[in-house]
Amino acid sequence: MKSNIYQWLGISMLTMSLMLAGCTSNPSEVTTGITSENDKGSTSKVLSAEFDAEDLDSNWDEKSSKQIALNGDSITTSASSGVFIEGTTVTIALPGTYVVSGELNDGQIHVKLENNGNVKLILNGATIHNEDSAAIYVEKAGKTIITLAEGTQNSLSDGSDYVYEDNADEPSGTLYSKDDLSINGAGTLIVNASFNDAIVGKDTLKLVEGTYVVTSVDDGIIGRDVLAIRTGKYTLDVAGDAMKSTNDNTEELGAIYIVDGTFDITSGNDGIDSIGAAVIENGQFNIVSGEGSESKIDETTSAKGIKSATELTMYKGTFNVDSADDAFHSNGNVNVHGGQYSITTGDDGFHADSALTINDGVVQINGSYEGLEGNQITVNGGNISIIASDDGVNVAGGNDESAFGGRGGASFATESDALLKITGGQIKVDAKGDGLDSNGNFEMSGGTVVVNGPEDNGNGPLDYDGTFNMSGGTLVAVGSSGMALAPSEISTQAALLMYYTETQAANTLVQLANEAGEIIVAFEPDKTYQSVMISSPLIEQGQSYTLYSGGQTVLDDILNIAEDTTGSLGNKIVSFTLADKISYVDANGITTSRGGMGGFGGGMGGGRGPMGGRSDDNGEMPAMPDGEMPTRPEGTNGEMTMPDGEMPTRPEGTNGE
Report pLDDT digits (tens) over 477-486: 999 999 999 9
Q: What is the mean pLDDT of the chain?
A: 85
Residue 56, φ and ψ in degrees, nearest 5? -95, -15
Q: Which pLDDT band holds residue 641 (cuts at 50, 70, 90)?
A: very low
Distance between CA 112 and CA 138 in Å, rounded?
7
Paired strand residues for 56: none
Distance between CA 221 and CA 143 in Å, rounded?
18
pLDDT at 309 over 80: yes
pLDDT at 12: 28
Residue 53, φ and ψ in degrees, nearest 5? -60, -40
pLDDT at 449 over 50: yes
301 CB-contact burial (10 Å; exposed 0-12 / middle 13-18 / buried 19+): middle
Residue 627, φ and ψ in degrees, nearest 5? 75, 10
pLDDT at 469: 99
pLDDT at 89 over 70: yes
What does the domain layout of the chain look like in residue ranges? 65-189, 510-590
Q: Which pLDDT band holds residue 420 (cuts at 50, 70, 90)?
A: very high
pLDDT at 153: 99
Paired strand residues for 477: 451, 533
Rounded to an integer, the average pLDDT of 22-28 is 35
Report pLDDT digits (tens) over 209-248: 999 999 999 999 999 999 999 999 999 999 999 999 999 8
Distance between CA 199 and CA 214 in Å, rounded?
9
Rounded to an integer, the average pLDDT of 576-591 is 95
Q: Residues with Cβ < 8 Å from 535, sequence gap 6 or more?
A: 470, 473, 474, 475, 487, 491, 493, 494, 495, 496
pLDDT at 611 over 80: no
Report pLDDT digits (tens) over 323-353: 999 999 999 999 999 999 999 999 999 999 9
Q: 493-527 burial by CB neighbour count: b if 16+ within 10 A, else e?
A: bbbbbbbbeeebeeeebbbbbeeeeebbbbbbbeb
Residue 55, φ and ψ in degrees, nearest 5? -60, -35
pLDDT at 97 over 90: yes
DSSP secondary structure of 111-129: EE-SSS-EEEEEEEEEEEE
Asked which of 100-104, 249-253, 476-480, 566-570 is least confident by mean pLDDT, the reply is: 249-253
Distance between CA 71 and CA 187 in Å, rounded?
21
| List of E strands, 79-184 | 83-86, 89-92, 96-104, 108-112, 118-130, 136-140, 143-148, 153-158, 173-177, 180-184
DSSP structure class, residue 313: E
At residue 150, the 3 state secondary structure works out as coil
pLDDT at 248: 86
CA 86 to each of CA 73, 89, 107, 275, 610: distance values in angstroms, whole numbers, following the listed order: 11, 5, 10, 39, 63
pLDDT at 23 over 60: no
Report pLDDT digits (tens) over 234-287: 999 999 999 999 998 877 789 999 999 999 999 999 999 999 999 999 999 999
Higher pLDDT, 327 or 656: 327
27 CB-contact burial (10 Å; exposed 0-12 / middle 13-18 / buried 19+): middle
DSSP structure class, residue 533: E
pTM score, whole prediction: 0.86
397, 603 Cβ separation under 8 angstroms = yes
